[in-house]
Amino acid sequence: MRNWLLDPLPGFRLVSSMWFFWLFLLFCSSGPFIEAKCKFPAIFNFGDSNSDTGGFWAAFPAERSPFGMTYFKKPAGRASDGRLVIDFLAQALGLPFLSPYLKSIGSDFRHGANFATLASTVLLPNTSLFVTGISPFSLGIQLNQIKDLKAKVLEPNHYGNLPPPNIFSEALYTIDIGQNDFTSNLNAIGIEGVKQYLPQVASQIAWTIKELYDMGGRNFMVFNLAPIGCFPAFLTELHHNISDLDEYGCMISYNNAVVDYNNMLNETLHQVLDTLQHASVIHVDTHSVKLELFRHPKNHGLLYGTKACCGHGGGAYNFDPEVFCGNSKVIDGINITSTACEDPQNYVSWDGIHATEAANKIIAWAVLGDSYSHPSFPLSKLCDLKPIG
């Protein structure tokens, strides 16, 4: 039997040309918020920087340009030059962009909320943000936040832009987290060290789904981990030999470890689904989509796979761990600034760790197309998908 995690973009060979044409029209149209007829009136998202729409920077204001330069024309709380996959998903379902739960000004939770924050982990961190950069808002904290939100919604005289009580049973729940659990200690303890606690990561995600189910949730999409062995930041920082690079310039051992985790996560999700009645628990294989983009960027309208748009140093990766995107630092008496390229639409990687809007759009395209959902979860049949540009 084919291992779908090791077969990049199998759906690209299965989806008909007419389906591609329809999706092309979907993505080429414009409009940030067009109300749609949809099974899901809201999205509740849990995650890290891959889906944070402003929670971290609401808690710790310090965001700067060039983040947000492509779509928002200013920093917008996202670790990208523009929109994230969760933004495109919301647009396609006819929903507004998700308000961060931690943002106190201008938030509207009538169509859901985003509990994701940059640098978050599944497991409770045993260190401080100011020591290692790991967010205090782990998945367990994010779960407590949605429980707090529901409690406020159920109050007799609740106020503000809150959703109706039935929203928790009708919403789509998305979970995109685990990358920081995998990478935060990787350089120090190696792959085998990280593997020791990855079963806890998968189990914690499963437990969270059960808790959300008890709150009324019935539809869950869980995104698996990206091929971190192709990220410019990790190609620069992680220990590896030339012999560990594949023909595309990605680190074989690290990517194989990610595949092992994704297979374990898939099995764990199957097990939790067997315990939940009338629920959908979907493993979304965005790993395969991202791997294809890193390997063959030109096949998808991009130019650069393992080179960051926003960085410093040039070369094959354009990533400098001393000067992250948008930052400046004096090194050897010289003021160094990490700047953005002029054409982020040609890059897979925005800043060495996160994807560009162009790559996120392609990933969202794949998610909406259903070929990467296991079991099948055809959003096009559950919602009148709306144009996103």
Q: To the nearest 10°, the Cα dihedral for 7, 226, 261, 136?
A: -170
Q: Catalytic residue among 48, 87, 285, 351, which?
A: 351
Task: Report strand pairing: 43-47 vs 172-176.
Answer: parallel
Task: Assess whether 354 carries a catalytic annotation.
Answer: yes
Phi, psi dihedral angles at 146 (to 5 degrees): -70, -30
Task: Assess whether 107 carries a catalytic annotation.
Answer: no
Strands (E), the chain: 43-47, 112-114, 172-176, 219-223, 280-284, 304-308, 328-331, 334-337, 347-349, 373-374
Q: In 3-state terms, the chain is what percent helix, strand and coil (to 5)?
A: 40, 15, 50
Tokens at 277, concatenated: 């009645």
Say if residues 173 and 167 touch (Cβ distance below 8 Å). Answer: no
Task: Assess whether 351 carries a catalytic annotation.
Answer: yes
Burial 207-245 (b: 16+ CB within 10 A, else e): ebbeebbeeebbbbbbbbbbbbbbbbbbbbbbeeeeeee
Q: Catalytic residue among 111, 287, 312, 354, which?
A: 354
Q: What is the DSSP-derived secondary structure letter of residue 134?
A: -
Strands (E), 91-150: 112-114
Q: Catalytic residue among 49, 120, 135, 349, which?
A: 49
Active site (catalytic) residues: 49, 351, 354
